[in-house]
Amino acid sequence: MYVYVAYSPDGKRIATATMDGAVNVWDAMSGRALLSFTASPTIRSFAFDRPLGTRLITGHNDGTIKVWDVSSTLTQASGSTTGQLLFTLAGHGSSIWGVEASPDGKQLVTASYDSTVRIWDITDNGTSEWLTIADGACCNAIYSPDGKRLIGASRIDTSRYGTNRMNVWDATTGQLLRTIDTGQMCGGDVSRDQKRFVTVTCGTVAEHTAKVWDLDTGNQLFSAPTANIDDLTTFGYGAAFHPDGMHIAAATGKGNITIWDVNSGREVMTLSGHMGNVNILAYSPDGTILASSAENVKIWDAPAGKEVRTLPTRGMSVTFSPDGTRLATANNDGTATVWDVASGKESQTLRGHTGRVFTVAFSPDGNRLATGGEDTTIKIWNVSPGASAGEQPLTLYGGSTTALTPQFSPDGKRLVAGWSWRGASGSVRVLALDLNDLLAIARSRVTRALTNDECQKFLHVDKCP
């Protein structure tokens, strides 16, 4: 059973929903249940509204969208413990795979498997559909940061899996601004300012290309072959935008990575060194370092195009720390490793999982690392510079299913994680990571003061606060 998880915009509440319609809203600090209700039929998409987060939006298998009041005033004023259905939006002809409120909370965009996108007025005076986009997205549509545009992927060739067209619409009028027929997409990335989009297409060798599009003009900036003639069945043709939005890196077959100037389409350089297809690419936050993963992980001086060093691991996931000085890799052997980017030395090797590690994620301050494993656990590791090598991680157990991607709260004080895999029952847990939060929870649940021995054992402090 799939479990959807969403933080409210202010990070104070967490909402969870299962496909069978069980919706819960929790206090993110204490874990206290605030609201619980059923939203039927089958849920396919799920989101808080913006910017207040007082409403919850559910998209359903029958093509309807429901908007619920989940505001704090609901429980305070009436003592209710169930969400109040405000209204139902109907008009789509198939299941709803994407819902997102506009940044100002006045409109809602929905994307359906019926290949339409619809924009709805969800203000107090509206609550109705006021715009329909006939040639829409099959499974997703997103607002641009300023809320003025919608970007969505759609299928015009339904005989093939995946999406094969990018559309850009005016979010106010619904006017189609751009239509980009991309071919079958196996990967892509959007620049940080969302003005450019790179698509990596796949299929036959001839179809393997990287194309960069200007979303303001609709112009294709360039097209270049990325054919991997070694292994056409490999998923994940790595591509990444440089933080400056002016350059991209993409896997181009035979272990090569090519850097292009997206303004001119000029090939800047090609990086050679890998033996097989490059599946993952990631730039450091300042764009000076590029990490690539294939049969091993390589660190490149991005401006010079020179290989700096090779890390002896095949990263299933790679991520830079917020300051860019460290790189974390999730490894096939059940470990995660934190590397010093400048020297290439292992800062820490994190052993504790008993299966493959799928996910690595730094906390916002870079002092902790969350790892998700095949062994059904998520572990929180102290990776601060002064951390002890023998320090044990904090482990979050979620049941008998694979641990999926964890997410730190914006302030890094909590972590929400879900477990579900191939129809197995799912669960969601919230972990308090801040000492003050832990103390508050402990004081609310124990009937006596902790001893110094207990504080040392459970809170990792010499004396009780």
In a domain, 103, yes or no: no
Helix or strand holding residue 72 (H, E) = helix 72-78
Q: Is 438 part of a structural domain of the chain? A: yes
- Residue 458: inside a domain, yes or no? yes
- φ/ψ of residue 453, rounded to 5: -60, -40
Does residue 462 lie in a domain region?
yes
State how far Cα 303 lies from the chain centre: 28
Nearest to 283 by CA among 227, 334, 330, 341: 341
Alpha-carbon radius of gyration of the chain: 24
* Any domain includes 411: no
- CA 136, 141, 142, 143 dihedral sign is positive
Residues 6+ apart with CB under 8 A from 252: 210, 224, 225, 226, 227, 258, 270
Residue 54 maps to a domain: no
**Cis ω on the peptide bond leading into residue 51 (within 30° of 0)?**
yes
CB atoms within 10 A of CB 115: 21
When divided into structural domains, the chain yields a total of: 1
In terms of phi and psi (left: phi > 0; alpha: psi -120 to 50; beta: otherwise), the region of 254 is: left
Residues recorded for the chain: 465
Rounded to an integer, what distance in angstroms lies between the CA atom of residue 305 and that of residue 242?
13
Q: What is the largest CA-CA distance in the chain?
A: 71
Phi/psi for 362 (5° steps) reads: -80, 150
Torsion over CA: 167, 168, 174, 176 (sign):
negative
Residues 6+ apart with CB under 8 A from 390: none
What does the CA dihedral 451, 453, 459, 465 come to, rounded to 10 degrees?
Answer: 50
Cβ contacts of residue 1 below 8 Å, gap of 6+? 18, 19, 20, 420, 423, 424, 425, 426
Judge whether 461 lies within some domain: yes
Reply yes or no: is the peptide bond before residue 41 cis, omega within 30 of 0: yes
Q: Which residues of the chain have pLDDT under 50?
A: 76-78, 125-132, 134-140, 158, 161-162, 229-235, 420-430
**Predicted local distance difference test score (pLDDT) of residue 331:** 87
Q: Phi first, then psi: give them for residue 326, nearest 5 degrees.
A: -130, 155
Q: According to the model, what pLDDT value does residue 378 have?
A: 79
Burial (CB count within 10 angstroms: exposed 0-12, middle 13-18, buried 19+), residue 177: middle
- Residue 123 inside a domain? The answer is no
- The DSSP string of 165-178 is EEEEEETTT--EEE
Q: Per the confidence metrics, is the pTM higher than 0.85?
A: no
DSSP category for residue 205: G
Give 182-194 pLDDT, tens digit per residue: 777 666 677 877 7
- Which domain does 465 fall in, by range? 434-465
Q: Identity (one letter) of the amino acid at 457?
A: K
Q: How far is it, in rounded angstroms, from Cα 210 to Cα 227? A: 9
Q: Between the CA of residue 38 and those of 41, 84, 168, 202, 362, what are the distances in Å?
A: 9, 11, 35, 41, 34
Nearest residue to 54 via CA among 98, 97, 86: 86
